[in-house]
Structure 1
Amino acid sequence: MRCQLSAHDEDEGEHFGLLTDTGAYGTALWLRWHGPDDAQVVMLPDCPMAAPGPDGDGCRLFADHTAQHTWQDAVEEVLYAS
């Protein structure tokens, strides 16, 4: 599984990969790990942030995540690809 957090130190800190949407409004199951032998399944609330504007995409991570929201990554990719 690949960590879904944006830029962070790959060797240190926690990593998170989405397992599944639990079906309960506002939560999802995530795999959290620190190293190859230290993984846990955790239920986390969804991040409530959305991109600016009336049609802004919602963040696809969990509440209180580190680094950028997922829609911020997409904006940077479009800006640098031009």
Structure 2
Amino acid sequence: MSVHEDEMHYGFACDLSEYGTALWLRWAEMTVVDLVVLPDCPAVAPGADGDACCLFAGHPERHTWKEALEEVAHGS
């Protein structure tokens, strides 16, 4: 799980790959959880075999492939 400063929190629920979207749970602090359909993030890592970002379009903070690169760089 990544650390972020956005007050909204998201949890992946289900892939809807045929539509380029996924179902996500969305909540803020102690509020009711919403089920929302969000388009996939179009970003991919540089290079021929670049990994796609596993989050939704317009997500806060960095792409998931950037987090993976940081973990490798820090030896985590």
TM (norm. structure 1) is 0.84
Larger relative CO (CA 8 A, sep 6+): 1 or 2?
Answer: 1
Counterpart Cα distance in 1 of 2:8 and 2:34: 11
- Number of residues of Structure 1 aligned to a counterpart in Structure 2: 76
- Aligned match of 1:8: 4
- What displacement does 1:35 show? 2.0
Identity %: 51
What is the CA RMSD across the aligned residues, in angstroms? Answer: 1.7
Q: 1:25 pairs with 19, 44, 61, which one?
A: 19
| Structure 1 outlier segments of 4+, above 6 Å | none
Counterpart Cα distance in 2 of 1:23 and 1:60: 12
TM (norm. structure 2) is 0.90
User: Where do 5+ consecutive residues of structure 1 fail to align?
Assistant: none
User: Where do 5+ consecutive residues of structure 2 fail to align?
Assistant: none
